[in-house]
Amino acid sequence: MKVLSLIEPYATLIKNGVKTIETRSWKTNYRGKLYIHASATKIPKEYEKNKELMSLVDINNLNYGNIICSCELVDCIKMTDEFINDIKNNRKNEYITGIYDNGRYAWILENIEQLDEPIKAKGKLNIWDFNA
C-alpha cells in the first residue's frame, strides 16, 4: 500500500475530514489508494502559534508515528491564482490547513476512511510503500 507521511496536526485533520487537499511543492503522477501516516515529529512551534489552525484539531487526540486513515488520491493540480483565490474565498478551513502559493501542487483526496486501529509505522519522505 502507498503511504504519505505528514507532520501533525495535518494527518489528523485529513483523518477527521477537515483537510481534503494536501499541498506540496512537488507533483505526483500517482493516483489511487493511499494511507496517511502521522509522523513522529512533534508539532513545530510555528504551527502551535497558529491559533486558527490549532482550533481545528484536538491536540490531545493526535497520532504520532501511526498510519491513521486511508483515502484516494484522485488528482494533482498545479496551483494558479484563480485556484488559490477560490479555496481562500470558499473553503476557509481548507485554506488554513495548507500552503497555497502559485506554482505549488494541490493533491486532491477523496473517500477518506479512518482506520479502526492505528498502525505503528516509521515514516519516510515522498510516497512510500508499506507492507503489513
Residues 49-102: tens digit of each pLDDT:
899 999 999 888 899 999 999 999 999 999 999 999 999 999 999 999 999 999
> Is the predicted pLDDT of residue 7 greater than 80, yes or no?
yes
> Is the four-CA dihedral 69, 77, 96, 99 of positive or negative sign?
positive
Q: Is the separation of the CB atoms in 74 and 31 below 8 Å?
A: yes
| Average pLDDT value for the chain | 95
Q: What integer pLDDT is reported at residue 47 of this predicted model?
A: 84
Tell me what the mean pLDDT of segment 1-7 comes to. 96
Map out the domains of the chain as residue ranges. 2-129
CATH topology of domain 2-129: 2.30.130
Q: DSSP secondary structure string, 21-32?
A: EEEESS-----E
Lowest-confidence pick of 33-37, 69-73, 85-89, 123-127: 123-127
Q: Could you tell me the three cell numbers for 58?
A: 484536538
Q: What integer pLDDT is reported at residue 25 of this predicted model?
A: 97
Run of H or E residues at 84: helix 81-90
Q: Is the separation of the CB atoms in 118 and 40 below 8 Å?
A: no
Between residues 60 and 1, the one the model is more confident about: 1
User: What is the edge-to-edge ordering of all strands in the sheet holding 66-78?
Assistant: 21-24, 105-120, 66-78, 32-38, 2-6, 127-129
Q: What integer pLDDT is reported at residue 132 of this predicted model?
A: 67
Provide the whole-model pTM. 0.93
